[in-house]
Homo-oligomer: A and B are copies of this chain.
Amino acid sequence: MKKILIVEDDKDIANLISEALTSQGFKTYLVNSLAQAYSFLIQSLVDLVVLDLILPDGDGIELLKYLRFSSKFSNIPVVIVSARGAELDRVLGLELGADDYVVKPFSLRELVIRIKKILKNKDFPLSQVRVGPLLLDKEKKTIFLEDNPLNLTPTEYKILEVFMENPEKVFSRDELSNHIWALEREYYSRVLDAYICRLRDKLGEYGELIETVRGFGYRLKKPA
């Protein structure tokens, strides 16, 4: 069940939103200030945040910024719900990475539709992804290279999976590590480099599909 955090200081509005979402099968959590939002997020991962901009202890935009610049939370979708409908606000919110911006008064039904749409895009359960000669089959937990299954260890598989879901994107070692191990290492480790080396090996003549971007990290090239 998808978890949604509602950050809204107006009790009535918060309850309305909450009911609308609950009736659609979401689990909701209500907080009414920035401070509460921060502490809630730290201890519990949610799937989406509904964010009011005008809060008793500050501007909701701050929370949006915080989420976007955090490596851990940067991909939690945020829907802004605000009485501030000025173009400047909308543009600012969207540019900072809000996934949608709904101006009050809005219809609950519309809000729910928009939220569903966003979450649907998120976990597009497309079970097969193709990148050049590689084919990722999530059902089978197998990656094929020109129709031959690669013999990968679990971690090797995860790394290549992340790459294939984001072809062309450059991952820093940290970013990649966070995806693979879900925890930050406090010390400097070269495990990842070792894996990249072995992956290239297993990709044989296609080894150079994994490109090192010196000073930044690695990426999976998508052949033209």
Contact = CB atoms under 8 A, between A and B. Distances in A.
Interface in A91-140: 91, 94-95, 99, 107, 109-110, 113-114, 117, 121, 123, 125, 139-140
A170 B140 contact: yes
A90 interface: yes
Contacts of A169: 139-140
A141 interface: yes
A205 interface: no
Contact of A94 (B87, B95, B110, B125): B110
Interface stretch (A8-16, A17-25, A51-59, A210-218): A210-218
Give this chain's copy count: 2
Interface in A182-206: none
Nearest to A217: B141
A168 interface: yes
A153 interface: yes
A223 interface: no
Interface size class of A (residues with CB under 8 A): 20 to 34
A207 interface: no
Given A153-B214, A167-B123, A216-B154, A117 B141 contact: no
A114 B141 contact: no
B117 A91 contact: no
A94 B107 contact: no
Contacts of A87: 107, 109-110
A213 to B, nearest CB: 5
A216 B137 CA distance: 14
Contacts of A219: 140
Interface in A156-172: 157, 166-170
- The 7 tightest CB contacts between A and B, nearest first, are A154-B215, A141-B170, A94-B113, A87-B107, A121-B121, A141-B216, A91-B109
